Amino acid sequence: MPPMRQTFDETTDRSFGPKHVPLIRQAMADQGLDGFVAPHEDEHQNEYLPAANDRLAWATGFTGSAGAAVILKDKAAIFVDGRYTLQVRDQVDPGTFEIRDLVEGGVPAYLETATGKGQVIGYDPRLHSPDALDRLKAAAAKAGSVLKPVSPNPLDAAWGQARPSQPTAPVVPHPKEYSGEDSAAKRHRLGEGLEGRGADAAVITAPASLAWLFNVRGGDVIRSPLPLGQAILNADGSARVFLDPAKVTPDLPAWLGNEVRLETPEDLPQALAELKGKTVVVDPAVSSSWYFETLAASGATVQRGEDPTVLPRACKNAVEIAGTKRAHVRDGVALCRFLHWLATEGQTNPPDEIEAVSKLEAFREETGALKDLSFDTIAGAASNGAIVHYRPTERLNKRSIQGNLLLIDSGAQYLDGTTDVTRTVAIGEPTAEMCERFTLVLKGHLALGRVRFPAGTTGSALDVLARQALWAHGLDYDHGTGHGVGSYLGVHEGPHRIAKLPNMVALRPGMIVSNEPGYYKEGGYGIRIENLQFVTEPAPIPGGERPMLGFEQLTLAPIDRRLVVKALLTNEEIAQLDAYHARVLTEVGAKAPADVTAWLKAVCAPL
């Protein structure tokens, strides 16, 4: 699977709404509908979508990874969260779509006020989770309108022959040298778990779960090596896998083995019908309402529960941890080459955001191991850095400014691991305020990196560590502090996280999680420091009574010491930062070009 270069000349633009919404409205009229709800999610509840499933982008022009739209006969609205406030205004025609907040009220609140008695609002049951659909139905009922399932949906009907074909990237084996465990062992282990909870089978709909369980990877989804498909895992460890035959490589049947039956997506409805009388686990967080409705109609007993692959997939085994360590050293060399370029050429001739993104990707491609980016690179110069998850486009592109900051959040996909790292770099001489606030963010980053904690501790219990220095100065940031990361899978992976919001999933050994506190001054600059780290096995502390888990850093790249106010750091924090930089110099410097190694010796010197 060759690297997919980031593009900036968007395939969508502000003319999409005026061009496409009338076509959708005509298709709605043909189906007797007064409106249609179009979520960002596709049939697989993917975060990143293949072109054929990017319905929201086709209808509106908006290409962000979260959102929704409601199209009515005489008006329409698009819903995005705070990450995409600037992007949505850049991409979506305001004369066609009212721009509204996805989180505050969102689509349900809009249905309550914008629809009326007797109106029929269509939805595609393959695109909504059952819980989300329940909220929409309740909101429509308050307004006196009715939600009606439709197939095909009017957006797809309007898209018609112009719609891209479904992706058919080959599904290939992911060898044990990377996975660390045979698929058969995984299937039987999880099958025993199903039997223990009184279930006969589980329906697996998340592409990442399919990839992990059967030790395969694909290329159907940009930024993630995922094959689109489904599976039914039986309690005896046998399984049925549903893949487009065009994606099935000659060696795949033998790789899957005799206990796995390979079938087509067209066989899936009948396979679900054959579960009549069985107790079947389906995860409402990742599976659409269609699965629940189809299984219920077949006479199966649906047991709502977490996808059985989620927790074991999150807890990386020793082979996966060793692989991600290799990937991070490789990625660290590429990143340090980029940071060296910024520290030399980039200071005298500051790059614009797109130039920075292209340069970083070029260094990663030169590793010879890059499969893809793990997400579209975020490069925010000056005030653009204050927009969380801002993504540069030709229209928004800004050149780095002397005396300000450049925030770069990026990641890569390698066969042995997935990376995600953010560094904030000073261009020219930073202000005293920038340095103070960078150091407060750094204090939180260091605190979360060195913490020891007992078994049973959740990420939400640790979140305050990353914020306490900022809080003491009346500052904060409005995003989570850490998300899980896959092993050559998705860069965002549950079920664990570190955030203010409560999370009931305890951190366990082998879980990879980001550590990314930040600070954002609207109209000024943005700061974020992000490393990936993994949870270590419990170990005793001298004089203590209980063994404690901790974190080991995976990311290897220097932190800009020009932004560090040493007087704000404790001796413990200084020693921690010095030890981290010594490790960067040792592990990355040994593999970097000579000029980069020489630069590392200077920027990684003890404070």
Q: Which domains does the chain have, with CATH numbers?
A: 16-162 (3.40.350.10), 172-313 (3.40.350.10), 315-603 (3.90.230.10)
pLDDT band at residue 33 using 50, 70 and 90 as cut-offs: very high
DSSP codes of every residue in 216-244: EE--SBTTB-----EEEEETTS-EEEE--
Least confident of 79-93, 120-134, 545-559, 581-595: 79-93
Contact between residue 324 and residue 487 where contact means Cβ atoms under 8 Å apart: yes
Strands (E), 114-194: 120-123, 146-149, 172-173
Angle at 207 between CA 206 and CA 213, to 5 degrees: 90
> Residue 413: beta bridge partners?
372, 418
pLDDT digits over 523-571, tens only? 999 999 999 999 999 999 999 999 999 999 999 999 999 999 999 999 9
Calpha distance 528→491 (Å, rounded) = 17
Query: Concatenated DSSP letters for 11-35?
Result: S--TTHHHHHHHHHHHHHHHTT-SE
Q: How far apart are CA 358 and CA 363, in angstroms?
A: 9
pLDDT band at 13 (very low <50, low <70, confident <90, very high): low
Reported as a single tens digit per residue, the pLDDT across 142-176 is 999 999 999 999 999 999 999 999 999 999 999 99
Cβ(135)–Cβ(108) under 8 Å? Answer: yes
Give the burial string for 93-105 (b: 16+ CB within 10 Å, else e): beebbeebebeee
Answer yes or no: are the C-beta atoms of 67 and 56 closer than 8 Å.
yes
Residues in the chain, overall count? 607
pTM summary value: 0.93
How many Cβ atoms are within 10 Å of 159's Cβ, its own excluded? 20
Q: Which of 40-49, 332-341, 499-508, 513-522 has the lowest mean pLDDT?
A: 40-49
86 pLDDT band (50/70/90 cuts)? confident
